[in-house]
Amino acid sequence: MPRRPAVEPDLNITIAGLLSDLALVQTSDQRKFGYKQAAQAIRALDEPVDALRQPDGTLRRIPRIGPASTRVILEVLETGSSPTVDEAVSASRKAADIAKRRQWRAYFLSRAAVRRALADPRLKGPRLSDYRGDLQMHSTWSDGSQTLEEIVRSGIARGYAYSAVTDHSAGLPIASGVSMERFAEQHRQIDRLNAEHAGRFTLLKGVEANIRADGEADVDLPDRRRFDIVVAAPHSSLRSPVAQTGRMLAAVSSPAIHILGHPRGRMFSSRPGVAADWSRVFTAAARTGVAIEIDGDPSRQDVDYVLARQALKAGCLFALDSDAHGVGEWSYAETAMAHARLAAVPPERIINCWALDRLLEWAATRSA
């Protein structure tokens, strides 16, 4: 059996993590914000930082990167570490907290690493040309900034055959969750848009349901059956070290759930997400036919390529989604695809790579 190509070190993520450390030890809100912005800028770079080093040893200008952040970057490029960050962390009272947060950055990819994975011919798995539609995104009906019309236009522009709008359910008021009465109105608008664009693009009726503590979705079964795609995702108890295996097993064992969305709910350097025996969860999801999502939001990347390999071995299906809340975030699906390629997930196991008829037939079976 051929060996999987090793995942190359991601210098941009390393540097972004160090800048995040500096943000955590700042007493000035302005400096804290500056280092956070610098960390995000490095994670979003299209190319590795070392490619921006000039012959004289200086660094080409990077937007949102000031002199203090540049010093950290150059230290890492020269020595592989940053004395500036080490001293700042040692002098703070936050060394233990930072050590914990560093563990919460495992297996994240920078934008440069995503581009490298998409272009690497040694990697198996999906290509951009295999991807037919995004199955998690949000509109102005909940906490998104894109209208339904913009979602349709953007999907057509990207060459997609379909996408699902999955606004939040009413059980998540912090994200402007939508009532079933309002969803009925949204569905009428979707029907109108689909009639206008018949043969070119299909907008699927979806919802992101919240997984309660007992594993039940906050959308009742009869209501779940009113949607084409139901994404069930955890939005609470995301920092608890207590295993929540039963909660997640219940979620993937429920009828009319199609996708287990961002299963852990982790966030870069901010929270670890749900702790669970994921081997058991993936085995159950494979048995029930629930797809495991790789959420491409750069701050989520959940599941990552290491957990995706476990899910693949368990026999799971996958969904690769952007979790886009605006038109400018559709490219996040490429981050999900990079993780799928690093995990060598075959396109036939990815529901976004299926033709619309096959996708709807599978979804209807799950909803029966």
The CATH number of the domain holding residue 283 is 3.20.20.140
User: Are 68 and 145 found together in one domain?
Assistant: no
Choosing from 71, 103, 135, the residue where a domain stops is 103
Q: Report if residue 117 sits inside a domain.
A: no
Q: Report if residue 111 sits inside a domain.
A: no
Q: Give me the number of domains the chain comprises.
A: 2
Range of the domain at 233: 125-367
3-state secondary structure of 349: helix
CATH of the domain at 69: 1.10.150.110
Torsion of CA 344, 347, 353, 356, to 10 degrees: -150
Which stretches within the chain are classed as H helix? 11-25, 29-43, 67-79, 83-91, 95-103, 111-119, 148-157, 180-196, 221-224, 245-252, 278-288, 305-314, 332-342, 356-367
Q: Which two tokens stand for residue 76?
A: 């890492």
Half-sphere exposure of 108 (CA within 13 A, CB side): 29
Q: Report if residue 190 sits inside a domain.
A: yes
Position 333: which residue type? A
CA dist 36 and 39 (Å) reads: 5
CA dist 215 and 245 (Å) reads: 9
CA dist 95 and 21 (Å) reads: 9
User: Are 18 and 60 found together in one domain?
Assistant: yes
pLDDT 10s per residue in the chain (368 long)? 456 666 788 999 999 999 999 999 999 999 999 999 999 999 999 999 999 999 998 999 999 999 999 999 999 999 999 999 999 999 999 999 999 999 999 999 999 999 999 999 999 999 999 999 999 999 999 999 999 999 999 999 999 999 999 999 998 888 889 999 999 999 999 999 999 999 999 999 999 999 999 999 999 999 999 999 999 999 999 999 999 999 999 999 999 999 999 999 999 999 999 999 999 999 999 999 999 999 999 999 999 999 999 999 999 999 999 999 999 999 999 999 999 999 999 999 999 999 999 999 999 999 98
User: Are 158 and 239 found together in one domain?
Assistant: yes
User: Are 132 and 56 found together in one domain?
Assistant: no
Q: Which two tokens stand for residue 364?
A: 């209807």
User: Are 49 and 94 found together in one domain?
Assistant: yes
| CA dihedral for 112, 117, 118, 120, sign (positive or negative) | positive
| pLDDT at residue 4, as a whole number | 67
Q: Report if residue 40 sits inside a domain.
A: yes
Q: Report if residue 5 sits inside a domain.
A: no
Q: Which two tokens stand for residue 14?
A: 């390393």
Q: Report if residue 3 sits inside a domain.
A: no
User: Are 99 and 138 found together in one domain?
Assistant: no
Question: Which residue is associated with the tokens 């350097």?
Answer: 269
Q: Report if residue 118 sits inside a domain.
A: no
User: Are 238 and 335 found together in one domain?
Assistant: yes
3-state secondary structure of 357: helix
| pLDDT at residue 60, as a whole number | 92
Length of the chain: 368
User: Are 159 and 282 found together in one domain?
Assistant: yes
Q: Report if residue 116 sits inside a domain.
A: no
Choosing from 72, 103, 134, the residue where a domain stops is 103
Widest pairwise Cα distance in the chain: 66
User: Are 170 and 286 found together in one domain?
Assistant: yes
User: Are 95 and 214 found together in one domain?
Assistant: no
User: Are 129 and 98 found together in one domain?
Assistant: no
3-state secondary structure of 189: helix
User: Are 226 and 90 found together in one domain?
Assistant: no
Position 363: which residue type? A
Task: Quote the pTM value.
Answer: 0.96
CA dist 165 and 231 (Å) reads: 10
